[in-house]
Amino acid sequence: MPDHSTVTSEERTKRSYERRPYPATDRGRLGDQGASLPPLKWMQAIGRPGRGAPQRVLIAGCGTGVEAFVMRRRLPTAEIVAVDFSPRSIAVARRLQRTENAGRPITFAVADLTEEAFAQGLGGAFDLITCHGVLSYIPRPERVLKNLAACTQRDGALYLGVNGEAHPATRLRPWLASLGLAVDELRDERRLRELLGLWDALNDDGGGELASMSATYLGGDVCGPHFNNWSVAQWRSKAHRGGWELAGTDVLPMALQLAMERANQSVLFPAGAGLVAARLDAARPAGFHRMMLRRGKAGALDVTGGATARSWGWTGLYAVRFAKSSVGKNNETAVFSCPTFHLRWSCEVTKAQANALRGLVAAGGDAPQGRHAWERDDASRRLLWLWTALGVVAVK
């Protein structure tokens, strides 16, 4: 039996990833994490609106490198630094890079995200950080969030992939323990697979088949030493303490579109995108969150009244066209489509708003002409608020 009394959960996490580097140690079983990382276009539009492609990228907690290789394919010329506290994972990543053969080499380094000197060791000034499947396993992740803020540009962004309240492990761990399994120290035995098969049959919710998951995934995600399976509200508050503002989640546009179909999205008003995301998640908890965060207050929109202090601009996530309105000749119908999330919806705007919208699209990421068309009355501010949460516009 391992001695859990003297070993911290951080040390146990490290040992667990040293024993089973994630996601795998050989190319054949590495898979492609491209599907689980959100599109770069969304990361840029919500996290760094109006900015060019990132030049300096940090992969925080890179495991054996698959996330870094995906980013390299998306950004062939950017400088990419990828770190992990498991020396074995970094050794595997370096070996795999030799056969990856894709663009500028990635710098792989051993580093602990929780250490106070973390930012100094890396040189700072990153304009995009991705941290996928890492913070859910670190006690007091605010320390890491603070460190990441310290090595990011002021207009830099952080993508976080973290567990939600509805993550299967929240209920699965106590269930396995109640059936006599030692959940803190996974043994990939037949009984575990049989129980997971039963779990899958009872939880046919499209969340993935646990019985067929690798021992590496089960060791970290189900039977690991520490879990933060938290709501958006909890992650948002930790991020805030670490110096970050939640600017959006990947499910927010879809959830808001559902609300718009029933014409009841305005019950959420007034609130910025981060608070709206937290309120929607509280009503329908997710198992995993993909969140974009920005430094300080950069992502917040004052929707409560008066002119907004900051400038805001078109994100480029949507295309818009105008159609004749059935409401009257002073109105137009704006039809929005977002190929990234396969969304399409329309709304009625006044002629003045339609013209301001045309100006905004033409100006691209920069502050629009005629912004007063959106800020002068409550109805216009509501529209602007809604479009911020949907990712049509972003506050700069």
Stretch that binds ligand SAM, among 15-23, 170-178, 279-287, 346-354 (CB under 6 A): 15-23
Distance (Å, whole) CA 342 – CA 163: 24
20 binds ligand SAM (CB under 6 A): no
Options 12, 20, 24, 33; binder of ligand SAM; rule CB under 6 A = 33
Site for ligand SAM in 206-225 (CB under 6 A): 220
In whole angstroms, how far apart are CA 227 and each of 13, 24, 29, 139, 222? Answer: 10, 21, 25, 8, 9
Nearest approach in angstroms of CB 46 to ligand SAM is 20
Q: Which helix (H) or strand (E) holds 393?
A: strand 393-395
86 binds ligand SAM (CB under 6 A): yes
Stretch that binds ligand SAM, among 133-141, 271-279, 302-310, 342-350 (CB under 6 A): 133-141
137 binds ligand SAM (CB under 6 A): yes
Nearest to 227 by CA among 154, 328, 330, 139: 139
- Site size with ligand SAM, rule: CB under 6 A: 23
Q: Compute the chain's Rg from CA coordinates.
A: 22
Q: Which is nearer to ligand SAM, 84 or 245 (CB)?
A: 84
89 binds ligand SAM (CB under 6 A): yes
Nearest approach in angstroms of CB 133 to ligand SAM is 4
The structure tokens listed for 206 are: 């499209």
Q: Which is nearer to ligand SAM, 54 or 65 (CB)?
A: 65
Q: Which helix (H) or strand (E) holds 83?
A: strand 79-84
Place of tokens 């009257």: 328
Residue at shortest CB range from ligand SAM: 63
Place of tokens 């002073």: 330
Beta bridge partners of 294: 157, 245
Nearest to 374 by CA among 69, 362, 395, 16: 395
Stretch that binds ligand SAM, among 73-81, 112-120, 278-286, 311-319 (CB under 6 A): 112-120
132 binds ligand SAM (CB under 6 A): yes
Q: Which is nearer to ligand SAM, 163 or 350 (CB)?
A: 163
Q: Site mask, ligand SAM, residues 48-77, x = CB under 6 A?
A: -------------xxx--xx----------
Options 75, 113, 223, 239; binder of ligand SAM; rule CB under 6 A = 113
Kindly state the greatest CA–CA separation across the chain: 77
3-state secondary structure of 239: helix
Beta bridge partners of 320: 336
Measured N-to-C along each axis, helices 252-261 and 378-390 cross at an angle, to the nearest 10 degrees, of 130
Helices (H), 186-272: 190-202, 215-217, 232-241, 252-261
Residues that bind ligand SAM (CB under 6 A): 13, 17, 22-23, 33, 61-63, 66-67, 84-86, 89, 112-114, 132-134, 137-138, 220
